[in-house]
A and B are shown apart, each in its own frame.
Chain A
């Protein structure tokens, strides 16, 4: 069983809509959770981190964490074509020695 599962997509949304990206993880001791964005041919870049249950907002991005259900999600409001990328979910155990990455969800925002 993979540590981190993501739907590979592609997820297509129209410009201005809300994009919802989901991630589930298998290790209950996972403590911290991260969303990275990766444009084609580029390296991943950090969007947000979250470690407490509930919502965390940063601009157009909201991360949601539910440890009881072992899922974390990312909402992108007012989606823009420039948001088109692959979004990687990463989790880390309590000792932070490495991140486990999902295989990513490809998002297409159509103008």
Chain B
């Protein structure tokens, strides 16, 4: 697609429920990242996928969080047994390997998750 697409744009869920957030990166971008941004805060790294390499999961805050990337394209971030502190905007970004210096990441519009 022309840009990074995320869905849903907004999600309200009850505490304890599981949620899935989807990211469709720019076509041909081999690198995909998930970040989250809490209100008034910076971006917190969650996970990074690069091609067929093992993902860098070092930013996932707990084992309730998981992510996968199928076919080197679409990615799904799953949060199990959601807690109120999970409320944030979840941002997906993609990049073409080797082009970071010039183009950085391209971010999607994010999914605003509210846990009530």
Contacts and interface: CB of A to CB of B under 8 A. Distances in A.
Contacts of B108: 43
- State the main secondary structure of chain B at its contact with A: mixed
B42 A101 contact: yes
A36 B42 CA distance: 11
A101 B33 CA distance: 13
A44 B89 CA distance: 12
Interface residues of B, number: 22
A92 B101 CA distance: 10
Contact of A43 (B42, B59, B109): B109
Interface in A73-111: 88, 90, 92, 96-104
A84 to B, nearest CB: 16
A98 B56 contact: yes
B107 A44 contact: yes
Contacts of A102: 42
27 contacts: A34-B104, A36-B104, A43-B91, A43-B108, A43-B109, A44-B107, A46-B106, A49-B102, A49-B104, A88-B42, A90-B104, A92-B100, A96-B100, A97-B48, A97-B50, A97-B56, A98-B48, A98-B56, A98-B59, A99-B43, A99-B45, A101-B35, A101-B42, A101-B43, A102-B42, A103-B41, A104-B42
Task: Kindly list the 6 A-B residue pairs having the minimum CB-CB distance in the complex, ordered from nearest.
Answer: A103-B42, A101-B43, A43-B107, A46-B104, A101-B42, A34-B104
Interface of B: 33, 35, 41-43, 45, 48, 50, 56, 59, 91, 100-110
